Structure 1
Amino acid sequence: MATGKISYQNVSIKYGILVGIAHIVYFLIMGVLGLHDVIELSFISGLFLVIGIIIAISKFKRLSHGAIRYFEGLGIGATVGVVSSVILAIFLAIYISVFDATYLENLQASALFPESISLLSLMLLTVIYGTIPGFFIAFIAMQWFKREGHSMPERV
């Protein structure tokens, strides 16, 4: 990226896409291992969101020569959350509609989701479950990144 054209939106969209892909890969691995029935395991993918937001904020700070405003960091977290969860929601809609409608039935049978959950409400919940935590993760991470002296270790 050129130095003058660095924007937190570009960085956060890039990492949002990567986190969304990580969510999908994890979902598919769970399917191959026959773990789709264990709904609680799907929440482990939240670690991808945490890691993606921290790396995105760090990358933006490095590209902007150590300068990051607090609200840019919050924007990165929220945007990574929105982009990754929209990607996952679209994938889930396609997966349930085309490949495995029983997955939605498993969600309905679990205690974590309402019995009347529809595909559309699942998509909406997926986006909400990515966006709100993304904002809060960035809020917590910015307590560290807002300091001028903070730096991430360089790659070897």
Structure 2
Amino acid sequence: MAQSTVSTESYGVRYGLIAAVVMIAYFLFINMINLQDVEIVRFASNIFIILAVMWAIYSFKNNYRGPVPYLPGLAVGFLVGLIGSVVYAFFIYVYAKFLNPNYATVLNTQDYYGSVLSPMMLAGAITILGTAVGTMTGYILMMAYDNSGARTTE
């Protein structure tokens, strides 16, 4: 049985934190250049979760001895999305609630997901979306990397 040199949890936490830091930097950057009201620009932060999952699974694959099993690879994608989006959502909540209360008023005038959301609801929505993006990216990548022999040639 092949063993990974590093656990899936450590990959998920490491790359999830990297994704969160980059998303926070991106958020501060778009606020600095006053593009936070542009929906496409705001939601583009999910690209960093996709890139972090790709990087994490690629690194996991390179450090794994033997064929990469599907479920541990999927777990890496899920954890990167979950950790990254939870940390980012927590930052958004703290930013809107304590660091810049005026931003909470801005949130109340913007239409997120078809409705007006409080900072807490926005944090929850960010967490759900980020986790889904990470999981789906991991799912797609593991379809390419899975060499477990479960596929048929018929």
Asked whether the two chains share a fold, i.e. TM above 0.5, the reply is yes
1:111 aligns with 2:111: yes
TM-score of the two chains, using structure 2 as the length reference: 0.85
Report what 1:40 is aligned to.
40
Report what 2:55 is aligned to.
55
One-letter identity of the residue aligned with 2:119:
L
8 Å CA contact 1:68, 1:146 repeated in 2: yes
Per-residue deviation at 1:66?
4.7
Report what 1:122 is aligned to.
122
Report what 2:152 is aligned to.
none
Structure 2 residues without counterparts, runs of 5 or longer: 149-154
* Cα distance in 2, alignment partners of residues 4 and 65 from structure 1: 6
Per-residue deviation at 1:145?
1.6
Report what 1:9 is aligned to.
9
How far does the alpha carbon of each residue in 1:99-118 deviate from its partner, in whole angstroms, 9 at most, with x for none? Answer: 32333333333333312x12
1:18 aligns with 2:30: no
Alignment length (residue pairs): 145
1:75 aligns with 2:114: no
Stretch moving more, 45-54 or 102-111: 102-111
Per-residue deviation at 1:9?
0.9
Pair 100,146 (structure 1): closer, same or farther in 2 beyond 3 Å:
same
8 Å CA contact 2:12, 2:80 repeated in 1: yes
8 Å CA contact 2:53, 2:134 repeated in 1: yes
RMSD in angstroms over aligned alpha carbons?
1.8
8 Å CA contact 1:39, 1:107 repeated in 2: no
8 Å CA contact 1:12, 1:77 repeated in 2: yes
How far does the alpha carbon of each residue in 1:4-25 deviate from its partner, in whole angstroms, 9 at most, with x for none? Answer: 6521111111000000001000
Per-residue deviation at 1:65?
2.9
Report what 1:86 is aligned to.
86
Determine helix, strand or coil for the equivalent of 2:44.
helix
Report what 1:153 is aligned to.
none
Report what 1:101 is aligned to.
101
Determine helix, strand or coil for the equivalent of 1:90.
helix
One-letter identity of the residue aligned with 2:46:
G
Identity score, percent: 27
* Cα distance in 1, alignment partners of residues 140 and 4 from structure 2: 28
Structure 1 residues without counterparts, runs of 5 or longer: 149-156
Per-residue deviation at 1:121?
1.1
* Cα distance in 2, alignment partners of residues 54 and 136 from structure 1: 11
